[in-house]
């Protein structure tokens, strides 16, 4: 039984007349609740707990979200890696949901996960704490990233700076680099090229990263340098293009699923445009959008790519 099916069953048993009536009692936005019940938005642990209370479900809805995670949320000091893996899995599902909705849709859920994992990081046993801190870094940088499409630059910068510190505290180079790269992107979108270049250079220092991420940060560095140092930008562009061919599609995970050739073709196009090769850039961007999955083409994160072609 799905979460939505169970809520509807409980509503009928409790004589709750409709979704708006239930939403008013929780309270929660009726549109948000509708999306959760229809399966287009994940149910957060906090929402499951409130619905449990309102529908006298005795924890049945929390159990549908994640029994181990619910236990950890009640006793943060006893959190284990399996509970943290559950949050990581929920985060992966949320990223997929962002592809078909928007940053604003998933941000409240990400904030709830972040608050919960932040408690885990503060109270977890020493053996588990680095894992909890690393996951807190990932949630923090993702929250920062979600502010970018909404042009909430100050919030994005604050969160990404915090995510970088947490990544270093956890001794996690992948998450530290991700936060630095997102911060570089945020600076670039605001036209602060000097800051973007410094952050990008820091993000590229560790060469032992996932090949997809290494490819992305190399393309990013090329785009940042394209305005002031074309020879360096062309060199990095060639490096990144060669890296794409070395990414094994079978090795992509829920945390790296977007590192496919079609995605990188669009990234390549942005660099070429900055280098003045606009006709070739438009050709590559059109090819990229045509090859991307339909839900990616219409996603909010692809808006910059669609705008590039005027579509």
Q: Does one domain contain both 82 and 21?
A: no
The tokens describing 232, both together, are 């360096």
Among 42, 73, 104, give the residue marking a domain's end.
73
Distance in angstroms between the alpha carbons of the first and the last residue of the chain: 41
Does residue 193 belong to any structural domain of this protein? no
**Which parts of the chain register pLDDT below 70?**
1, 67
**Angle, CA of 26, 31 and 37, to the nearest 5°:** 75
Q: Does one domain contain both 41 and 94?
A: no
User: What is the structure's pLDDT at 70?
Assistant: 75
Count up the domains in the chain and report the number.
3
Q: What is the C-alpha to C-alpha distance for residues 152 and 110, in angstroms, rounded to an integer?
A: 16
Q: Are 199 and 181 in contact (CB under 8 A)?
A: yes
Domain assignment of residue 108, given as a range: 75-170
Map residue 119 onto helix, strand or coil.
helix
Q: Does one domain contain both 83 and 157?
A: yes
Rounded to two decimals, the pTM is 0.81
Does residue 190 belong to any structural domain of this protein? no
The CATH number of the domain holding residue 15 is 1.10.260
User: What is the structure's pLDDT at 234?
Assistant: 98
Q: Does one domain contain both 54 and 83?
A: no
Does residue 200 belong to any structural domain of this protein? no
Provide the phi-psi class of 58: left if phi over 0, else alpha when psi is between -120 and 50, else beta: left
User: What is the structure's pLDDT at 144?
Assistant: 98
Does residue 194 belong to any structural domain of this protein? no
Among 73, 107, 128, give the residue marking a domain's end.
73
* DSSP single-letter state for residue 150: T
Q: Does one domain contain both 10 and 80?
A: no
User: What is the structure's pLDDT at 1?
Assistant: 67
Q: Does one domain contain both 235 and 298?
A: yes
Does residue 43 belong to any structural domain of this protein? yes
206 burial (CB, 10 Å; 0-12 / 13-18 / 19+) is middle
Among 22, 40, 73, give the residue marking a domain's end.
73
Q: Are 174 and 166 in contact (CB under 8 A)?
A: no
């Amino acid at each position: 039984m799905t979460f939505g099916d169970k809520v509807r069953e409980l509503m009928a048993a409790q004589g709750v007349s409709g979704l708006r009536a239930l939403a008013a009692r929780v309270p929660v936005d009726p549109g948000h609740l509708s999306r959760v019940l229809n399966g287009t938005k994940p149910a957060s642990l906090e929402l499951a707990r409130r619905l449990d209370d309102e529908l006298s479900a005795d924890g049945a809805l929390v159990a549908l979200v994640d029994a181990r995670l619910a236990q950890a949320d009640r006793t943060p000091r006893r959190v284990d890696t399996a509970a943290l893996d559950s949050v990581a899995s929920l985060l992966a599902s949320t990223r997929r949901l962002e592809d078909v909705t928007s940053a604003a849709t998933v941000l409240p859920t990400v904030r709830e996960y972040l608050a919960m994992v932040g408690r885990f990081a503060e109270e977890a046993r020493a053996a588990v704490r680095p894992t909890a801190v690393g996951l807190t870094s990932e949630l923090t940088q993702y929250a920062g990233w979600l502010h970018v499409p909404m042009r909430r630059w100050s919030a994005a910068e604050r969160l990404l700076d915090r995510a970088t510190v947490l990544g270093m505290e956890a001794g996690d180079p992948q998450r530290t680099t991700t936060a630095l790269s997102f911060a570089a992107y945020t600076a670039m979108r605001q036209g602060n090229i000097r800051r973007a270049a410094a952050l990008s250079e820091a993000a590229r220092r560790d060469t032992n990263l996932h090949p997809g991420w290494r490819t992305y940060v190399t393309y990013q560095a090329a785009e940042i340098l394209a305005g002031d140092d074309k020879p360096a930008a062309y060199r990095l562009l060639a490096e990144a293009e060669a890296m794409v061919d070395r990414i094994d599609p079978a090795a992509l995970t829920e945390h790296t699923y977007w590192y496919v050739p079609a995605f990188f073709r669009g990234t390549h196009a942005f660099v070429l445009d900055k280098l003045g090769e606009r006709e070739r850039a438009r050709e590559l961007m059109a090819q990229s959008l045509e090859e991307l999955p339909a839900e990616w083409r219409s996603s909010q994160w692809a808006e910059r790519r669609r705008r590039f072609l005027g579509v």
